[in-house]
Amino acid sequence: MNEQVFSFFQTTPDSAEWLDWKWQYKNRITRADALSEIISFDKKERREIELCLSNLKMAITPYFASLMDPTDPVCPIRQQAVPSGEELLILPTERKDPLNEEHYSPVRNIVHRYPDRVLFLVSRQCAMYCRHCTRRTRVGDEGFFLTEEETEEAIDYITSAEEVRDVLISGGDPLVMDDGRLEELLSRLRAIRHVDIIRIGTRVPSVLPMRVTPSLLAMLKKYQPIWMNTQFNHPNELTHAAIQACADIVDAGIPLGNQSVLLKNINNDTETMRELLLGLLKARVRPYYLYQCDLCEGLSHFRARVQDGIEIIRNLTGHITGLAIPQFVIDAPDGGGKIPVNPEYLLSVNDDEIVMRNFKGDIYIYPQT
């Protein structure tokens, strides 16, 4: 871990304050001057960071900052957390709302793209503002809280939409809310008869693992079935603290999945992904999705080639257990939804036979008659 972080905050990894999630949240690194005491960067990089911060906020938990290499500008942890001048480049193909969520929002804070499920955006705050976030232009409002009117509007919509059986709570990050406010929302959702599944989307296990407290888990257990998806993008994030947080979630009876983003020069190679995916499985976290980075403004430096993702899946298939292999998807621009993009194994289909290629490249025929 980066010892400069501990000296900056005058604490140690096992101190009571370091292990207190509220202390971590309160002491997030949000300014370039504080960041400069933890990692090294030159005057040009500082100017670029400050330019970025004039448009989009930065927030890095002391815990996540402690994982950064203080002298390596291409550290995979640092790249996810620290603003870069490359964010200032906006391509004509990029959008503020690349998934067109506003178009699919029948009422405030609800996105209803798929027939049987909705996305409920309950927060605009995160423990850390990931530089590759698809909602990067719409999160960071530290003063935003759902009003009573907005909550009622969202709950009324879900109640009236009887086809909705699955509600994904996201934001921002729902777990930066206190237990009481989160429980209020969960209890309202669980009272809706046709809502079978409640899911929580959070990056807390990776960037703020001390938020996974016994009181939080005891509260969540009251509203089962609850599923949770998190985001680990690099094996360096799988620290003892993160693995323990994942174990606590799973031990509470909450299935935990992971949704990685394919990020150029961070995880867009087979060996890095192999280590990450097998590490996740060992931590009892099921790799769920591998996302192609969205066409959000200022993210061109993060976007790897789609071919990289396809090649990674091809190289892993048959060589590690299928449990560890996520589905590679592109969340289609303009709200087309998630589209699987995987290696081609089915070569031809007719009424007589199926011609297939296996993971070794060998051809097999399956007769249909």
Q: Which residues are catalytic?
A: 113-114, 117, 126, 130, 133, 135, 294, 331, 338
- Is residue 366 within 8 Å of 353, Cβ to Cβ? yes
Separation CA 274–CA 282 (nearest Å): 12
Strand partners, 228: 200, 256
Q: Is the dihedral of CA 220, 141, 153, 161 positive or negative?
A: negative
- Is residue 295 within 8 Å of 335, Cβ to Cβ? no
- Single-letter amino acid, residue 96: K
Distance of CA 350 to the CA centre of its chain: 40
The 346-349 sheet, strands edge to edge: 346-349, 353-357, 363-367
CB atoms within 10 A of CB 210: 19
- Single-letter amino acid, residue 57: K
Q: Which helix (H) or strand (E) holds 339?
A: strand 337-340
